[in-house]
Structures are given as structure tokens and as C-alpha cells.
Amino acid sequence: MAEGAAEAPAESGGGGDLGAGALERGVAPIKSRYLTTKEQFHEFLEAGGREKPSQETSGGNHYDCDLSEPEAKRIRLEDGQPGEGATEEAAEHLEQPQTQKRARGQNKARPHIKPSHYDKNRLCPSIVQESAAKCFFGDRCRFLHDLDISGKLYLAPLTTCGNLPFRRICKRYGADVTCGEMAVCTNLLQGQTSEWALLKRHPCEDIFGVQLEGAFPDTMTKCAELLNRTIEVDFVDINVGCPIDLVYKKGGGCALMNRSAKFQQIVRGMDQVLDVPLTVKIRTGVQERVNLAHRLLPKLRDWGAALVTLHGRSREQRYTKLADWQYIKQCVAAASPMPLFGNGDILSYEDANCAMQTGVTGIMIARGALLKPWLFTEIKEQRHWDISSSERLDILRDFTNYGLEHWGSDTQGVEKTRRFLLEWLSFLCRYVPVGLLERLPQRINERPPYYLGRDYLETLMASQRAADWIRISEMLLGPVPPNFVFVPKHKANAYK
């Protein structure tokens, strides 16, 4: 599992080259002529874009009024609390009157076959089994023999929106490596259909892996052995980066970084039964100021891990500071010659270039892909894409089509597609169009202020209200059913 949520205000210390120059208050620098207030923003949307916002300030220019963040949000930013949508604690919208108790935190009680063929560019089994000198298939082999993985862009196995339709979108825009959402090994061994669905691969995914979570060597090894017999993937990843309490308190996820004996048994056991490379995702450590990764990496290399991805934050830190790319740079040497991918705060090609200068083999992208899935194209073409609102709507339309293909076009399939679309829209609204920015690029820790876009759709896509996300979903999937309820990740933004 990787970042399924969001980010935080810029803070000094540990950020490395990435994040340098971020605004002091964590607000994206939008050109003044586009800025507005919260009240005028919603007034404009409610009018369907047919009326200009009321001009309440002197001089008749509504851009001259107070452009700052809402008071509660401003206090949170100035105090260094999680900003830009931090999954764990950030309350997305402070819509309710001050006299009412504000909802906050996560809605933790939200209701929740082997493929027959694949496209080209899958790793040859002879490579996997270290018999590259003599290919099993000879001249007839249609598989990939090039093991070079340097410079690859790896879409993280996101927990909220990292499903097959979203992966297809990212593949189209240039993601090189994809991975299924985190699957719990005990659920797989019990045959839970919903868990096995997380492992499904699409033919467009040429380098594809699955991610497992578990705390015990016997169940993890049995699960790896089962997957080795029943599904066709290019690698299996162990999630040792998951910070959530439900996983951590059971000894899985980040907890394994402090359980060296169990961790070793899991890696060695899984490596013994797999015919594909075993990879591991870790964080810098568990506690904020106690880094463990540099000590674990040489061990992981010796235990049998083929590649490690390092997220530049600790479990305790969550998203309250920028990822520590200077520490990732230090860990590159500790991991060598084992490949090390870096992860954290990539939202532009400049961020990616700075990351590659640390010596990492490749980059994993998580929240950046949720904010703008065309980020992979920007990195490969070394440019900022001022994508239009209509182009962004086309991406959402493709996602819904992929969703209906994946989950079905009956009522249940439509509503499941809608639910994942709404979850994704809660991230997409944080993207600020390139043409509106005073300074490029937008940083991942910068929350957009209220602004009016260049057209009504661009403004609607900037709304952080669940009700407006519903409106966008209705453009693509039709009206919501009677008594429709959407319970997003954060309690402060529920739609009922």
C-alpha cells in the first residue's frame, strides 16, 4: 500500500532539494486575477457560471477582497499540521457553522482467476530463473530479455484509487511499472473474492506486480507459493510501508521494520518459493527521528530482495513534512548494488529530475499521479502540460468507461465506478492548472486557494465540496440513485 491520500505544509528540515522554494504558508501561487473568495467561488458555481460573483469590495473588483485561507485552515497550516489533504487527520472542508461541532478525522467504518493472455514486453521466465544465457523458448521467444530498470516511472499501489481502471489511465500517460492494490495475505488464503480481484491484471500492463501485506512468515510464504502457481505477474512486492493502525498493530506494514527476525523469515521464505523477483516497499523508519532504512537495506539485499522502494518519510511523520530525499540519497549507497527506487513529493518533471540526481534507479509516483495522471507524460517530455478542462473531463470519461468494463455496466457496476470516481475527484480538485500559476511548478504540499478558472468546468473541477464531485459524476454516469449517500475518506465532507 502506498499513499492513498495526501500531503502537508512545507516545513524546513529533511526536504532535500525537492520542495525548495515552496510557499511559507503552503498555498499555491495563483495569478491574482483568478483569485476569489470561498463565498464568491460557490456563488459562481451555484449560478452555473451564468453570473459573475457579486462585487462586494471597494473599487468593484472582487479579486481585491480577502484571499486568504479559511481561518481554521490557516491556523492548521501555520501550526505545521497536515495540510494538502493528509489522509490521516486533515479535514477537507470547514463548511459548518462555528457553533456546531466540526466533523473531523477519517470515516473508518466506510462500507467496503488466472489471466489467459498478456501483451508483449513481459519478462522472460529464463531471466526470472537466472538462465539468461539459454532462453527456454529460443528464437521463438516473445518475452522481454532486457533487465535494465533504470529511469523507470513506477505507479505506486495506491489504496483508495489504485484499481485497474486508474492504472490503465496512468499506463496511457507513460507509467512504466504498475502494481495492484495491497492485498492481505490471510484474506487471499481464505479465498475472499474481493481480495483476489485486487490482483487482476490488464493486458496493457507490461510490467506488473502485486503487493502483499502480512505479519507472519508462514502465511506470507504460503500466499506467495499460491500466487506463484495461480497468477502471472512480473514481481511480488511486500508492503512494509503501510502506516495505518489496523495493519501496524497486528505486526504488519511498518511494524516489520522493528521486527528484524520476522522480516528476515518473510523475505527469505517468499524468495524461496517465487519464480519472479521479490521486491519490498519500506519507509525511512517508524519514529520520526530514528531512521532505520540505511541499516535494513544491506540485510534485505542479502535476504533475497531484488529491489526496494523507499518512501522518504517515517510512519510517525505521515505527511507532516516533505519527503527526505537527502536521506534517500544516503540510502542509495547502502543498498548498492541492489536497485533502489525513491518515493515522495513528485508532482512535476523538475521534482523528478531532482529525485534522479540522488542516484536512485527509478521513481515511484503516488499522490502526484492522483492529482494529475498525465504527470508521467510531463516527466518523459520534460514539460509542463497546461491541460484544458475538456481534456481532463475526457480522462474522467475514459476512467468511467474502463470502470464499467471492469465492474460491469449494470446498476451495481455503475455505482461502484461512481464511488471510485468520487474518491479520485477528491484528489483531482487539488490540481491547479498551469496557466493559472504565478510560479511553476505547483508543489505537492501547496493547497490551492479559491479561484475562478478560465471556464466554468475548470472552476467546477476546483471545488472541494463532495456535492460538486457528485455533479461531475452525473455528467458521466447519469443521475445518482434516490437516497444516494457518498461517504468520503474525511468526515467533514460527507454527501448525504
Active-site positions read 242
- Contact in structure between 491 and 91 (CB atoms under 8 Å): yes
| CA gap 165, 401 in Å, rounded | 8
List, as one string, the DSSP characters of 300-332.
Answer: HHHHT-SEEEEESS-TTTTTSS---HHHHHHHH
Beta bridge partners of 311: 283, 343
Beta strand 235-240 with 307-311 is unpaired
- Contact in structure between 238 and 267 (CB atoms under 8 Å): yes
| CA gap 82, 211 in Å, rounded | 27
Q: Quick check: helix, strand or coil at residue 272?
A: helix
Nearest CA to 154 among 323, 366, 357?
366
Helix (H), strand (E) at residue 212: strand 208-213
Hey, CA dihedral for 408, 410, 416, 420, is it positive or negative? Answer: positive
Helix (H), strand (E) at residue 281: strand 278-283
Give the residue carrying C-alpha cell 505544509: 9
- Contact in structure between 187 and 381 (CB atoms under 8 Å): no
Cβ atoms < 10 Å from Cβ of 415: 15
Q: Half-sphere exposure (CA, 13 Å, Cβ side) for 311?
A: 30
| CA gap 249, 243 in Å, rounded | 10
Cβ atoms < 10 Å from Cβ of 455: 13
Give the residue carrying C-alpha cell 532505520: 292
State the angle between helix axes of 164-172 and 411-428 in degrees (0 to 180), rounded to the nearest 10: 50
| CA gap 214, 223 in Å, rounded | 10
Burial letters 124-135, b for 16+ CB under 10 A, else e: bebbbeeeeeeb
| CA gap 219, 221 in Å, rounded | 5
Cβ atoms < 10 Å from Cβ of 489: 22
Beta bridge partners of 240: 282
